[in-house]
Structure 1
Amino acid sequence: MQAFLKDLFKDQQYDPENFFLLAGPCVVESEDLVMTVADKVSGICKNLGIPYVFKSSYRKANRTSAGSFTGIGDTAALELLKKVRDTCHLPVVSDIHAHEEAAIAAQYIDMLQIPAFLSRQTDLLEAAAKTGKIVNIKKGQFLSGPAMQFAVDKVKQAGNDKVLLTDRGNTFGYQDLVVDFRNIPWMKEHGAPVVMDCTHSLQQPNQTSGVTGGNPALIGTIAKAAIATGADGLFIETHPNPAVAKSDGANMLQLDYLEPLLEQLVKIRKAILPVG
Structure 2
Amino acid sequence: MKKMILIAGPCVIENEELVFKIAQELECFLKDDRIDFYFKSSFDKANRTSISSFRGPGLEKGLEILQKVKDKFGMQILTDIHESSQASIAAEVVDVLQIPAFLCRQTDLLVAAAKTKAKVNVKKGQFLNPDDIKYSIAKILQTRGIGKEGYEIAKENGVFVAERGSSFGYGNLVVDMRSLVIMRKYAPVIFDATHSVQMPGANGGSSGGKSEFVEPLARAAASVGVDGFFFETHIDPCNALCDGPNMLDLSRLKNCVNTLLKIQEVI
For 2:203 and 2:181, the matched residues in 1 are separated by: 35
Distance in 1 of aligned mates of 2:255 and 2:203: 35
Letter of the 2:68 counterpart: K
Q: CA deviation at 1:162?
A: 1.8
Choose from 209, 213, 220 the match for 2:204. 209
CA–CA distance in structure 2, aligned partners of residues 87 and 248 of structure 1: 26
1:154 corresponding residue in structure 2: 139
1:231 aligned onto 2:226: yes
Aligned residue for 2:92? 107
Q: Secondary structure at the match of 1:51?
A: strand
- Pair 1:246-2:231 in alignment: no
RMSD, aligned α-carbons: 1.3
Aligned partner (choices 39, 56, 70) of residue 85 of structure 1 = 70
Deviation, structure 1 residue 50: 1.7
Q: Name the residue aligned to 1:177.
A: 173
SS of the equivalent of 2:67 reads helix
Asked if the contact 2:30–2:75 (Cα under 8 Å) also holds between the matched residues in 1, the reply is: no
Cα pair 1:48 1:266 within 8 Å, conserved: no
The reply on whether 1:144 has 2:140 as its aligned counterpart is: no
CA distance in 1, matches of 2:232, 2:33: 18
State the alpha-carbon separation in 2 of the partners of residues 264 and 57 from structure 1: 27
Q: Using a 3 Å threshold, how does the CA distance of structure 1 residues 208 and 45 change in structure 2: closer, same or farther?
A: closer
1:267 is the counterpart of 2:252: no
Distance in 1 (alpha carbons) for counterparts of 2:120 and 2:203: 33
Distance of 2:43 and 2:78 partners within structure 1? 10
- Map residues 183-194 of structure 1 onto 2, 5 A cutoff: 183-190=179-186, 192-194=187-189
Whether 1:49 aligns to 2:12 is: no
| Residues in 1 aligned to 2:84 and 2:31: alpha-carbon distance in whole angstroms | 35
State the TM-score, normalized to the length of structure 1. Answer: 0.90
Contact 1:238 1:252 in 2 (8 A): yes
Are 1:125 and 1:155, in contact at CA under 8 Å, matched by a contact in 2?
yes
- 1:4 aligns with none
The CA distance in 2 between the partners of 1:186 and 1:120, in whole Å, is 18
Whether the 8 Å contact between 2:14 and 2:241 is mirrored in structure 1 is yes
Q: Give ranges in structure 2 of 5+ residues lacking alignment.
A: 146-156
Where 2:180 maps in the other structure, the secondary structure is helix
Write the distance in 2 (CA, Å) between the matches of 1:62 and 1:120.
15
Give the Å deviation of 1:49. Answer: 2.8
* Deviation readout 1:220-252 (Å, 9 max, x if unpaired): 011101111111000000000001111000100
* Residue aligned with 2:35, SS: coil
- Determine if contact 2:8/2:233 at 8 Å carries over to the other structure: yes
What is the rounded CA distance, in whole Å, between the counterparts of 2:211 and 2:143 in structure 1? 37
Number of residue pairs matched? Answer: 256
What TM-score results when the alignment is normalised by the length of structure 2? 0.93
Q: Distance in 1 between matches of 2:140 and 2:197?
A: 28
Distance in 2 between the 1:261 and 1:48 partners?
A: 17
Supply the distance in 2 between the matched residues of 1:100 and 1:47 (Cα, whole angstroms): 35
Identity within the alignment, %? 45
Contact 2:3 2:33 in 1 (8 A): no
Q: What SS is found at the alignment partner of 2:12?
A: coil
1:45 Cα shift?
Answer: 4.8
